[in-house]
Amino acid sequence: MIHHPFPIVLGLGSNLGPGRETLDQACHLLDQLGAPIVQRSRLYHGRPWGGVAEQPDYLNAAVTVATRLRPLELLDLILHIEFELGRRRRRRWGPRRLDIDLLLYGNLQLRHPRLELPHPRLARRDFVLAPLIDLAVPPPLELAPRGWGALLRELPPGERVIYHSERWMSR
């Protein structure tokens, strides 16, 4: 495995179908296809983010993975898993059976037409910041010099969507 001073972190979300089962299936496929799960955050229940309110609430979490895949290869794997588990891209921030975002790839900074790292909106989403805190992922200093908790505390009320969390154990 490639060693990174900062972990490789994926954000997972679902608001269509059996959310918990879909997230478990996604983790199983990650394990099987070259990006085994090292650690899981809690599961977070939250309202839709991004101004598209006419949809079911979300179930979100984050995982750290160990992989030899390079960032774009990992992105391709993520897109494959999303498709296999029923994701069809119809509208931005719309309802989805599965969403997997590559949030951090070690301490790599990348600007590519297909992928930006760290994820460009992770510092504005409580459903990403709370799982990062759960995972004790150290933040890149240029992104969060005072830590993930400071970013979470500074979010305006309108950008806070989490209303419940629970332990997430694999089944």
Query: For residue 139, which of 127, 156, 157, 152 has the smallest C-alpha distance?
Result: 152
pLDDT at residue 106 in the model = 87
Residues 6+ apart with CB under 8 A from 132: 9, 41, 62, 103, 122, 139, 148
Strands (E), 66-167: 99-105, 110-112, 115-117, 162-166
For the entire predicted model, the pTM comes to 0.91
| Residue 115 bridge partners (DSSP) | 112
Catalytic sites, residue numbers: 87, 96, 99, 101
Q: Give 53's pLDDT tier (boundaries 50, 70, 90).
A: low
Under 8 Å between Cβ of 148 and 132: yes
Residue 3: what pLDDT?
A: 46
Percentage of the chain surpassing pLDDT 90? 58
